Structure 1
Amino acid sequence: MELRHLRYFVAVAEELHFTRAAERLNMAQPPLSQQIRQLESELGVQLFQRTKRQVELTAAGKNFLKNVYKILIDLDKTCDSAQRAQKGEIGNIVVGFTGTATYDILPKLLQPYRSEFPFVDISVLQLSTTDQIQSLLNGEINIGILCAPIKNSQLNFEVIHQEPFIIAMPRNHPLASKSGPIEVQEFSKELFIMIPRNSGQIYYDTIINICHNAGFSPNITQEVHELHTSISLVAAGMGVALVPDSIQNLRVRGITYRQLKNSVSTLKTALAWRNDETSPLVHTFIALAKKSIKKLA
């Protein structure tokens, strides 16, 4: 039995007339009658009661039609699912991200993606840049949103966003009332709250370089693993922190933010994926991510 036999049967069952069914199928009537007889022979049942005046479904034919409808509907769904999978419209994808992407980049990427591809199951994992690299190579995540620059011959990288570092200080800090950008060296005697280097090497080294370029080494009094924790400690008067500009999207009382004067260091965020990645899901995510960041930047 072939799929065409089922479609021939449905046409005759719905028309209850071989000539009209043949016209509907764009074929001659004799071959259609022959195909239906072959189907009946293969099934071992009579599907139609034929007379010179009319064609009627037998009880077996009515039962068979009901189940054929289900088969054809399931087949259409299966074909549609395969086509959508090829287009990257359904399936599962796992995205890694650094804590620095939480307050700006991640919402800008995920919201339009979920809107355009509602049938894709997307999971997100917060991982350091180093851990994301390893997870990409191990196939544990499909895409990384991490700090750049990174070099790895097995991965593709594309910077999608850059933002300056700013200084976060308690609202009652002597410099909080100062308007405009502030020189970093004005904080050379301050206590600094930092993310440890093993949680984000690039992020950590960039902050150290900002301080060194200003002529001092930061006095690190507290190390925390989350940016929002560092901001909370700043608000509590435990010190100051150099943080990415997007952290201002996190509303915390008791904090004052100021731009840095003469600082050219920026936090670069990149997408990362394997060189041998063939999944349409990954490539549609990357394409939409580029468009979303460009549109919303």
Structure 2
Amino acid sequence: MELRHLRYYIVVAEQLHFGRAARLLNISQPPLSNQIKNLEEEIGVQLLVRNNKEVRITPAGQYFLEAARKCIAALDKEIEFTQRIAQGKEGTVSIGFSGTMSFHVLPSIVKDFKKNHPGIDIRLQQLTTYNQIVGLIHGTIDIGFLVSPVSDQRIDSITILEERFVACLPKNHPLATGCQVIDVSRLGNENWVMTPREAGHGYYDAILTLCKEHGFKPNVIQTAQEQQTLVALVAAEMGVTLLPQSATYIKNDHVVYKEIDSNMKKISSMAWNPGLLTDTARLFIHHVEERMQKGTIHQLIVPES
């Protein structure tokens, strides 16, 4: 059975006249009669009684008319919704994010996108970089805001933010007062708290490389997935750590953030799996790329201590 059979039948059943129905459908009468006959044969029911004088609808035909109307109306509604998704007016985008992307850049992007596309539902999940890559591969998230580099060739990405590292120290640490810029080598004998490498090797490796450039390997005594937890561990005087500059948004009266003598940067990217990209996700990516080209992605503003 084809959809046109239902549409033809609805018009004929409403008009109860093959000639008028044929004119409304812009087809000739003989093919229309054949289509209705084929429909009746396919479902094994007589829908219409026709003779030289009139066309009458059978009780079964009346029931089928209502069913056909509901079917076509539901399909038309779904087609319209599908078109609205393709036009960026409806749909869902699932976004993963990690760490400090939630402090400044991501809220700005999401707010602007929702303003332009209010019908699209944004679903946010805080995930480590590793778990975002897994989610992108398996399609459980559409887009990820994570720490570069992304080595999996199935994933595409663009750089969103580059930021320097800062030292996070207990408030009573000897280096917490005095010098504005800390020589990282002076942290070589300290205990450290860090995120584990499996949470995201790009962030972890950048810190280890930075420490190596200053002549030491950090003595990591405690790990934590979230940067807020790392700040809390520093506040508890369990150790020191290096965090991206945007982490200074995390307020804690028992820690101090200090600039360091290194230009190494943490690179955050927007990533996606082109093989699993939905229309709404593609629209979101296009929106971010347009903002980047226009220079309207808000730059990082570090709050005052």
1:161 maps onto 2:125 in alignment: no
1:100 deviates by 4.9
Residue 165 of structure 1 aligns to a residue in which SS? strand
For residue 66 of structure 1, report the CA deviation from its aligned partner: 0.7
- 1:280 paired residue number: 278
- AA paired with 1:206? A
Measured after TM superposition, the shift of residue 27 of structure 1 is: 2.8
After superposition, give the CA deviation of every residue in 1:223-242 in whole Å (9 maximum; x if it has no partner): 33321111112223444322
Q: Name the counterpart of 1:8.
A: 8
Within a 5 Å distance, the mapping from 1:1-297 to structure 2 comes to 1-29=1-29, 31-33=31-33, 35-36=35-36, 39-40=39-40, 43-47=44-48, 57-77=57-77, 79=79, 97-104=97-104, 107=107, 116=117, 124=125, 126-129=127-130, 143-171=143-171, 176=176, 181-185=180-184, 188=187, 191-214=191-214, 218=218, 220-260=220-260, 262-274=261-273, 277-280=275-278, 283-291=282-290, 295-297=296-298
Distance between the aligned counterparts of 2:198 and 2:79, measured in 1? 48
The one-letter amino acid paired with 1:236 is A
Q: Secondary structure at the match of 1:264?
A: coil
Structure 2 letter corresponding to 1:183: I
RMSD over aligned Cα atoms: 4.4
Compute the TM-score of the two structures, normalised by the length of structure 1. Answer: 0.70
- Of the structure 1 ranges 86-95 and 39-48, higher mean CA displacement relative to structure 2 is found in 86-95
1:80-126 Cα deviation digits (max 9, x unpaired): 56667878988887765544545445545666677848677957462
C-alpha separation between the residues in 1 aligned to 2:38 and 2:204? 75
Letter in 1 for 2:256: T
The Cα shift of 1:31 comes to: 4.7
What letter corresponds to residue 61 of structure 2 in structure 1?
Answer: G
Q: 1:17 to 1:198 in 2, by over 3 A?
A: closer
Instruction: Using the TM superposition, give the Cα deviation of residue 70 of structure 1 relative to its aligned residue in structure 2, in angstroms.
Output: 2.0
Q: Distance in 1 between matches of 2:225 and 2:4?
A: 62
Relative to structure 1, is the Cα distance of residues 236 and 83 closer, same or farther in structure 2, using a 3 angstrom cutoff? same
Classify the secondary structure of the residue corresponding to 2:181: coil
> Per the alignment, in what secondary structure is the counterpart of residue 268 of structure 1?
strand
Amino acid in structure 2 at the alignment position of 1:9: Y
- CA contact 2:128–2:225 (8 Å) conserved in 1: no
In the alignment, the residues of structure 1 paired with residue 34 and residue 198 of structure 2 have an alpha-carbon distance, to the nearest angstrom, of 75
114-123 vs 205-214, which deviates more?
Answer: 114-123
Q: Note the C-alpha offset of 1:162.
A: 1.5
Q: Percent identity?
A: 35
Give the match's secondary structure for 2:13.
helix
Give the gaps of 5 or more residues in structure 2. 299-305
Whether contact under 8 Å (2:167, 2:243) holds in the other structure is yes
1:216/1:32 Cα in 2 relative to 1: closer, same or farther (>3 Å)?
closer
Q: Is residue 90–residue 121 contact of structure 1 (8 Å, CA) maintained in 2? A: no
Matched length: 292
Q: Tell me if the contact between 1:89 and 1:120 (Cα under 8 Å) persists in the aligned partners.
A: no
Quickly say closer, same or farther: Cα 1:47–1:193, change in 2 above 3 A: same
